Structure 1
Amino acid sequence: MSVQGSVEPGFEAVRDAFGQAQAEDEGAAQLCVYRHGRSVVDLWTGRDPISDKPWDAESLVVLMSVSKGLTATCVHMLVERGQLDLDAPVRDYWPEFAANGKAAITVADVLSHRAGLSSFDPEYGIGPTQLTDWSTCVTALESMTPLWRPGTAFYYHSLTLGYLAGELIRRVTGKTVGDFLAAEIAGPLGLDLWIGLPEREEHRVIPQFTRQTGPTADQVRAVLTKMGIDVEDRLVRATLATLATKDEGIEMLNTRAGHEAEVPSGNGIGNARSLARMFAATIGEVDGIRLLSAATVEKARQPQTSNLSSPPPLDVIPGTHTFAYTYEVPGITWPMLGAGSFGNVGTGGRIAFAHPESGVAVGYTCTNMTGDNAAAPDPRWVSWTAALREAVA
């Protein structure tokens, strides 16, 4: 499989490793690396076996949970400007949120997956179609009682975090998260990044696909039962309801309706060039633009869940995520460039992050959702991240 694009001298091993890692992948991938505000790696390879569209560095893909990195950057820009306070109760900005035991939940709790709102209660009937309806999802979160006592445990708010953070953005700016991203980040930096894709860009989107099938909600329920976990527990029921929508949700994200909505946890759309450029601008200047100060980055990347476990009865299942404030920090299954890195991983293998100590920012996208980093890093990352560490050492 041929690799197209360019690398600066000293990064040839990254190109070689990227090509080797993608050699057996029937889909397409992009890899871009910035260092000290300049692009030093800009590569793409593969093809689109689903729609047979052309694939190059300008092609767009759904970013899955890498979208949370876009949302996080919007939030931290507002923190830096004094429009949001991490330690303030959410109710200060969003009074309706305080209902049913949520008055003491802070912005920090929400951003670090400690708010007890990791999934919608099944009774709300929120499936893939409803996820594209902002008002429905936000209203459900306003009326929910937390699934555990906020601040005492953490569990990945895989779907809900985008609505929680996005509504905070809307309350303090009057803009949706997609509008804020366009006006304050994508526009000034010239990025092909959207949460809520304009129809004029639809032709550039390459569909994602998978040949693998993960466990169904029923299969997971059976495993939990064998482990002695009460599957009628409210948290477990909510978590299983989220899992039950996963496959349908991924299909929805290949549709125009899934692209034009704003689902900030998962339907960001962009390419590796734009991801790397955005993260580069969080840690330094890119063509005269810097999104976050060094002090803001330092606070934003501090781990917030290291001393917490999952809430019962799911506390018997080892966690794999370590969260700062919406950004993820290195763990066993996504080491990034080691300590100090921060960014986000998306279902199926997408990843974007920055490492201030080396001045590096990375964007990697793919269309084949073969990556399952629940137990180990995606094999497609391993060789080029090792080569990149060596190149910047």
Structure 2
Amino acid sequence: MSATHDAQQTPPAPQAAGVHGFCDPRFTAVREAFEENFRTRRELGAAVAVTLDGETVVDLWGGWADAARTRSWERDTLVNVWSTTKGPVALCAHLLADRGLLDLDAPVARYWPEFAAAGKERVLVRHLLSHRAGLCGLREPHSLRDLYDWELTTARLAATEPWWEPGTRSGYHAVTYGFLVGEVVRRITGLKPGAFLEREVTGPLGIDFSMGLPVEKYGRAAELTHTPAGSDDERSPTFRHLTRLTLAAMANPAIGTAHANTPAWRAAEVPAGNGHGTARAVAALYGVFAGRGSFGGRRILSPEAAERVREGQGSCV
């Protein structure tokens, strides 16, 4: 996880704020690569954590947490992890399936009746989890303000028709994934995925991760600095060659790093892209999957449920 300078500005390499933390001697190459990012690749600030069989073997951080280089990246610095948020959202669904509260082969409409509109009555829960639902983006214009409105966004997704026949192909649901899976979680539990994850996993395990960011943690958050997505002029060759489907998936609305630093983004729950945490927290959450359902001696998923996560759902087309 890192905050990276705008490549167009080509700033001078940042003065080292120091690399700190722990690295098992077996993984010296990881530390060397991490340090090389600061020396030669103009890394501003970053953290990396690696777990092996539930044991932390790498936990490093360094550089700066802001573009002005006034705040050092610390052990507890939080950063928006973008699409890495999708894994924890999926974990919520698999927890419910493991407890018999969610059938991955059931129609989504069993849990979310309004979803059956526009020919989606046979879309399965597993189609949502595997990016095969044909709902990679909305057809009508959807602003950032709209995106921050959970009820409006999920209502529009429930009402829209798929871009392709669900289950026949994969297409990255860059922004919609979290709302689709998250609304199923909410219909079953009464909680959005962020609150459910906190209650069931991050709270009990002390994992420093949230969907959105509470105001009291703003002082720990790294500033993201990069060219905002969608900043190109719509008349440019980049935009002219994008298909309508790609624009719906990736630019409706366009989301860039400038937005990620705003109170509005942090206050909302966009569970495909606005998770905030430390590198250690991400290693812990994904460690549940890597550890066959357990992490740090605590079982979160049954071994059977953890294996189900690994099942292939078909290739991309």
Q: 1:128 touches 1:252 (CA, 8 Å); kept in 2?
A: no
DSSP 3-state at the match of 2:61:
strand
Q: How does 1:222-371 map to 2 (within 5 A)?
A: 222-223=240-241, 236-245=243-252, 248-282=255-289, 283=291, 285-306=294-315, 308-309=316-317
Which residue is 2:7 aligned to?
none
Of residues 12, 25, 30, the one that matches 2:42 is 25
Which residue is 2:136 aligned to?
118
Aligned-pair RMSD on alpha carbons? 2.0
Q: 1:57 touches 1:273 (CA, 8 Å); kept in 2?
A: no
Question: Aligned partners of 1:109, 1:72: CA distance in 2, in Å?
Answer: 12
Q: How does 1:123-162 map to 2 (within 5 A)?
A: 123=140, 125-162=141-178
Which residue is 2:64 aligned to?
47
Q: CA deviation at 1:246?
A: 6.1
Question: Aligned partners of 2:56, 2:258: CA distance in 1, in Å?
Answer: 33
Question: Aligned partners of 1:87, 1:247: CA distance in 2, in Å?
Answer: 33
Asked if 1:184 corresponds to 2:191, the answer is: no
Question: Aligned partners of 2:178, 2:189: CA distance in 1, in Å?
Answer: 16
Aligned residues: 295
Question: Aligned partners of 1:299, 1:184: CA distance in 2, in Å?
Answer: 20
Question: Aligned partners of 1:166, 1:280: CA distance in 2, in Å?
Answer: 21
2:95 maps to amino acid: M
TM-score (norm 1): 0.70
Q: 1:217 touches 1:244 (CA, 8 Å); kept in 2?
A: no
Q: CA deviation at 1:110?
A: 1.1
DSSP 3-state at the match of 1:10:
helix
1:252-279 Cα distance to aligned partner (Å, 9 max, x none): 2211111121100000111101111222
1:134 maps to amino acid: W
Q: 1:213 to 1:144 in 2, by over 3 A?
A: closer
Q: CA deviation at 1:179?
A: 0.5
TM-score (norm 2): 0.86
1:26-45 Cα distance to aligned partner (Å, 9 max, x none): 41110111111111111012
Q: CA deviation at 1:112?
A: 1.0
Q: 1:120 touches 1:238 (CA, 8 Å); kept in 2?
A: no
Q: 1:246 to 1:61 in 2, by over 3 A?
A: farther
Q: 1:161 to 1:203 in 2, by over 3 A?
A: same
Q: CA deviation at 1:25?
A: 2.3
1:56 maps to amino acid: E
Of residues 207, 210, 217, the one that matches 1:194 is 210
Question: Aligned partners of 1:305, 1:249: CA distance in 2, in Å?
Answer: 30
Q: 1:163 touches 1:265 (CA, 8 Å); kept in 2?
A: yes
More displaced 10-residue stretch of structure 1: 293-302 or 38-47: 293-302
1:161-220 Cα distance to aligned partner (Å, 9 max, x none): 110000000011111111001111110110110013221111111111115877555433
1:240 maps to amino acid: L
Which residue is 1:95 aligned to?
113
Question: Aligned partners of 1:304, 1:44: CA distance in 2, in Å?
Answer: 36
More displaced 10-residue stretch of structure 1: 19-28 or 183-192: 19-28
Q: 1:281 touches 1:289 (CA, 8 Å); kept in 2?
A: no
Q: CA deviation at 1:62?
A: 0.5
Q: CA deviation at 1:80?
A: 0.9
Q: CA deviation at 1:46?
A: 1.4
Percent identity of paired positions between Structure 1 and Structure 2: 40
Question: Aligned partners of 1:20, 1:212: CA distance in 2, in Å?
Answer: 25
